[in-house]
Amino acid sequence: MRLPRALSAVWLVGLAAAAHAQARYDIFLDDKKFGTGSLTQMVSKEGIKTVKLILNLRVDGGEIRVTNESQYGPTGRPIRKYLETVAVGTNQRRQIVATFTPGGAFVVDERSGDRRTAQRPVPDGQGIEDAAEFWFIRGIPKPGEEVKALRFDLEKLEWRMQTSSYVGPADVQLGRRTLKGHELTVDGRTIYVDDKGLPLLMEVGNLRLVRS
């Protein structure tokens, strides 16, 4: 199952913010539509945020379904991350589950029945609480506001520092539509979101995620 490398960046980015929200997307690769997606989010009364992204992609003449789910505590600390990739109609499947403690991540990586586990400690002196996960839930950030935090890469199974910045209000062109939104950058990648923090447009290399 070979997926575009740009999809890896999508898993690293917090994609939703409204307390209870849902949106649908068209996915383009080199300006050609190659799939659709749906995103749902809920925030429990305890303040735990759950985001679920499902992608249905057409790759090399077949269909691939990708499910990515992340949970964060009220401070933005990760609780659990899940990534499953399935080649529909075959026995090809990969599932990665990471659960988090203050000391690091415990990972279970299963590929078509082959199960492996690993521990990935948090680097000394680094923070994993990402306050940007709750932007737009608790209010719109101020232009120029920036958050740096370690995020766990489910494909490379490693921690990496990520910088999220709020640029400010922006007009977003989606085909013939011009919508009011907000511009964010995540490690230099630009993302446009609506007032609820739901993505309107995200571009990573030759990949585009566009609100339907």
Taking only the tens place, the pLDDT of each residue in 168-209 is 999 999 989 999 999 999 988 999 999 888 899 998 888 899
CB atoms within 10 A of CB 104: 16
Whether 5 shows a pLDDT value over 90: the answer reads no
Confidence tier at 3 by pLDDT (50, 70, 90): low
Assigned token pair, 13: 């980015």
Tell me what pLDDT residue 13 has.
56
Tell me what pLDDT residue 9 has.
52
State whether residue 102 is helix, strand or coil.
coil
Tell me what pLDDT residue 14 has.
53
CB 102 within 8 A of CB 91: no
Paired with 168 in beta bridges are: 183
Tell me what pLDDT residue 100 has.
96
Q: Domain segments of the chain: what residues? A: 7-211
Q: Hunting for tokens 């600390």 — which residue is that?
A: 77
CB 79 within 8 A of CB 64: no
Name, in order, each residue with C-beta under 8 angstroms of 2's C-beta and a sequence gap of 6 or more. 59, 60
Q: Hunting for tokens 């120029």 — which residue is that?
A: 144
Tell me what pLDDT residue 193 has.
93
Taking only the tens place, the pLDDT of each residue in 57-86 is 998 888 999 999 999 999 999 999 999 999
Instruction: Look at the pTM and tell me if it is higher than 0.85.
Output: yes
Name, in order, each residue with C-beta under 8 angstroms of 135's C-beta and a sequence gap of 6 or more. 17, 141, 164, 166, 197
